[in-house]
Amino acid sequence: DTAVSQTPKYLVTQMGNDKSIKCEQNLGHDTMYWYKQDSKKFLKIMFSYNNKELIINETVPNRFSPKSPDKAHLNLHINSLELGDSAVYFCASSQVWGDDGYTFGSGTRLTVV
C-alpha cells in the first residue's frame, strides 16, 4: 500500500484554468504538507495542516488554496494557473509537526502552457 499517494502524477493545462491535486496518507500522521519543487530543484514549503487546521501558510499567492476534508487528506486547489506555476508539487506527511522525518508522495508534475 502506498503511504502517501498523490493524483494526478502528470498534469498539463492551459493558462487561466483551475485545477486540483489530491493527496491522501494512510500512515495515521497528524500533519500534512505541500511543497513545490521548481526547475532549480529547490523544495519550498507551501502549506502545513495539523488536524485540519492550517498552521503555517507561507507567502504563496492566494490562487493556491489547501483543502483538508479530514486528517488523512490534503488537497491543493489552484485558480487561474500561470506559466510560473509549472513545477513538481509534493505532498508529505509526518507524525508530529516538524519533529521527525517526512514521508513524501511521488509528486505531481504540473505544466502550464
Partner 1 sequence: RKEVEQDPGPFNVPEGATVAFNCTYSNSASQSFFWYRQDCRKEPKLLMSVYSSGNEDGRFTAQLNRASQYISLLIRDSKLSDSATYLCVVNMEGQNFVFGPGTRLSVLP
Give residues in contact with partner 1 (CB under 8 A): 33, 35, 40-45, 48, 56, 58, 90, 97-107
- Non-local (6+) Cβ contacts of 3 within 8 A are 25, 26, 27, 93, 103
Closest CB 44 distance from partner 1, rounded Å = 8
| Stated length of the chain | 113
Q: Which is nearer to partner 1, 8 or 16 (CB)?
A: 8
- Non-local (6+) Cβ contacts of 51 within 8 A are 30, 71
Q: How many CA atoms lie within 13 A of 4 on its CB side?
A: 24
Q: Which is nearer to partner 1, 15 or 54 (CB)?
A: 54
Closest CB 16 distance from partner 1, rounded Å = 27
Q: How many CA atoms lie within 13 A of 8 on its CB side?
A: 9
Closest CB 45 distance from partner 1, rounded Å = 5
C-alpha cell at 67: 483543502
Q: Which is nearer to partner 1, 70 or 99 (CB)?
A: 99
Q: Which is nearer to partner 1, 44 or 79 (CB)?
A: 44
Closest CB 2 distance from partner 1, rounded Å = 11
